[in-house]
Amino acid sequence: MSSQKHNIRPKASTMGGGSKLGYFLSRALQNLRSNRMVTILTVSTITIAILIISLFMLMYVNLEGTIEQWSRKVVVTVYFDKEPAPQDLMSLKGRITSLSGTESITTVSKEEALKRFRSRLKGQESLLEGVSPDILPSSIEITLKKEFRSTDAVNIYVARLKKLQGVGEVQYGEEWVRKFMLFFQFVRILGALIALFLVLSVVFIVSNTIRLTIFARKDELEILALVGATPFFIKAPFLIEGMLQGAVGSLLAVSLLSAGYFTILSNAGNFLTFNPADAGLVFLPASYIAALVSGGVLIGFIGSLASLKKFITI
Amino acid sequence: MIELHNVTVRYQTDAPALSSVSITIPKGDFVFLTGSSGAGKSTLLKLVYGAVQPVYGHVVVDGQNVTRMSRRQIPFLRRNIGVVFQDFKLLQNRSVFDNVAITLEVLGWEHNDIKKKVFHTLKRLGIEHKLDVPPIRLSGGEQQRVALARALVNEPRILLADEPTGNLDENNKDQILQIFKEANLRGTTVLIASHDRRVIHSGHHRVVHLEKGVLQESGNVQSKA
């Protein structure tokens, strides 16, 4: 009789894939509720960690925007020895515009050049009394596309520009461009190093927090293994918990950042003596927000997975 | 059936926890494993449910060679083995129901079937009225009954117990022992590690004695009752 009883016991899972996922999800939610303090601790840690990274990203995005604005000052100027005929000027402007790397061009007449000169001599305008605009050359100012603003790219552009018929003297402030590009490179490398350091610190802190929380529940892992749970069955709810905590933590971080930005930082120009960006501080693009939330979920998942490996020894 | 063939277990570089132990426990048998602390009783139990692997010899459970099993196969071996400990190993932040249901959840039972089976098992053990209570609010005897319910709810072929009465008073010891005997009557092979003479002499059972990892004797004990 007893052996018959043994035979009718279902020993293998009869759940389908969908109901299994449903079971893991409901188990994960129950675990989060029943381990409330531990959950709050983990979510808080992830929130703070992601907030630190998002603040750095906000700073970096705005710094890069400022540098991008400054780089627009890389202007190549073509001077004319004598005023070209209107149709020649038109033809030259067309050729320069069609040159690869040209973003926009501005014609500066002799009168405009004198006006600019006068404004630079503010307070000493009398020095230019009686001076006719004819002493200054007219010119074309060329703003380059972003990818043509590096030292090497400017040199190549200028070499091609000089080959155009009708182009005389060309100036572009080589030394300024070189120094500016060095500064730009320095900011990028420093930013990448700080970002790497921050990400490593965050991964270390979050994964250790998760490890502590899983350590606190090692009895549960032991009991599950004892009653015949497969490693996947044991891990799945913990991994879902990790991802949910990561998602909630990163969404909270993004919400806090948004609140901080829209209440204080968006009006920074009104109270900062130095406003780095003409358009004020900008918020993170949607792709960065998506990356932050995905990063939070990933940290929760990897932190849980790495910790579980230590404690599941079936 | 449980068979150990010339089994030696060693933890790191210490003296062997078990040394060339050979023993056969037939299906449906009721065996007490005795010996002082450190004699190797717990190690022998762990060999049966695949928590420890021998350095020499073979362990065969229900015809399956445990020593040759991969880590993936071990969970399926354990689904036929119930294990009970002296410290109960219950989840204190879950209810009695959840603690027992976990065995059936692992097997993929449907929720309604789990509810019926858990209630039926708890009723058999006389603690169905504690269904929603967390184990921390139960007495030692009640907690051990919950642990037994978790081990028995899927009617395992083998029931292992490591000092199951170590934390209980005399009255509770008798009650818990009775549950083991009932499980054995249903066809479950029972192997209890204990050094409690009163428990060992509670009936006419086979007794296996271990001393410093070596099997000393294997014979039957007559009930003193």
Of A223, A221, A211, nearest to A300 (Cα)? A211
Which of A14, A222, A225 comes nearest B108 by C-beta?
A: A14
Q: Which two tokens stand for residue A214?
A: 């899983």
What's the distance, Cα to Cα, between the start and end of chain A in Å?
33
Return the higher-pLDDT residue of B7 and A184.
B7
Asked whether the beta carbons of residue B94 and residue A34 sit closer than 8 angstroms, the reply is yes
Return the higher-pLDDT residue of A192 and B219.
A192
Residue B78 with chain A: CB contacts under 8 Å: 225-228
pTM of the shown model: 0.74
Euclidean distance between CA atoms A113 and A91, whole angstroms: 22
DSSP one-letter code for B162? E
Of B166, B147, B16, B169, nearest to B82 (Cα)? B147
Which of A9, A10, A229 comes nearest B75 by C-beta?
A: A229
Test the B interface: residue of A9, A33, A226 with most B CBs within 10 Å: A226
User: In sequence order, which residues have a C-beta less than 8 Å from that of residue A268 and are 6 or more positions away?
Assistant: A275, A280, A281
pLDDT score, position B179: 92
Test the A interface: residue of B96, B102, B160, B186 with most A CBs within 10 Å: B102
pLDDT score, position B150: 96
Residue keyed to tokens 């051990």: B144
Asked whether the beta carbons of residue A223 and residue B72 sit closer than 8 angstroms, the reply is no
Residue B49 with chain A: CB contacts under 8 Å: 226
**pLDDT, tens digit, 9 for 90 and up, residues B130-175:** 999 999 999 999 999 999 999 999 999 999 999 998 888 888 888 8
Q: Is B26 on the interface with A (CB under 8 A)?
A: no
Which of B83, B109, B187 comes nearest A10 by C-beta?
A: B109
Distance from CA of B106 to the nearest CA of A (A): 5
Euclidean distance between CA atoms A227 and B104, whole angstroms: 9
- Nearest C-alpha in A relative to B82: A227
Q: Which two tokens stand for residue B102?
A: 């976990």
CATH topology of domain A75-171: Alpha-Beta Plaits (3.30.70)
Asked whether the beta carbons of residue B106 and residue A233 sit closer than 8 angstroms, the reply is yes
Q: How much is the ipTM here?
A: 0.90
pLDDT score, position A5: 40
- Nearest C-alpha in A relative to B107: A13
Which of A12, A35, A231 comes nearest B108 by C-beta?
A: A12
CA-angle at A271, arms to A268 and A273, nearest 5°? 100
Q: What is the pLDDT along chain A (314 residues), one digit of tens a residue?
A: 344 443 334 444 555 556 788 889 988 998 898 888 889 999 999 999 999 999 999 988 888 888 777 777 778 888 887 777 888 888 888 888 888 889 989 888 888 888 888 787 777 767 767 777 777 888 889 988 888 887 788 888 988 888 888 787 888 877 777 787 788 888 889 989 998 998 888 888 888 888 888 888 888 999 999 999 999 999 999 999 999 999 999 999 999 999 998 888 777 666 555 555 555 788 899 999 999 999 999 999 998 998 888 777 65
Q: Is B30 on the interface with A (CB under 8 A)?
A: no
DSSP one-letter code for A145? P
Supply the angle between the helices B170-185 and B140-152 in degrees, to the nearest 10: 10
Q: What is the mean pLDDT of residues B13-26?
A: 88
Residue A33 with chain B: CB contacts under 8 Å: none
3-state secondary structure of B7: strand
Mean pLDDT over all residues of chain B?
Answer: 91
pLDDT score, position B113: 94
Strands B81-85 and B214-221: unpaired
Residue ranges matching CATH 3.30.70.3040 in chain A: 75-171
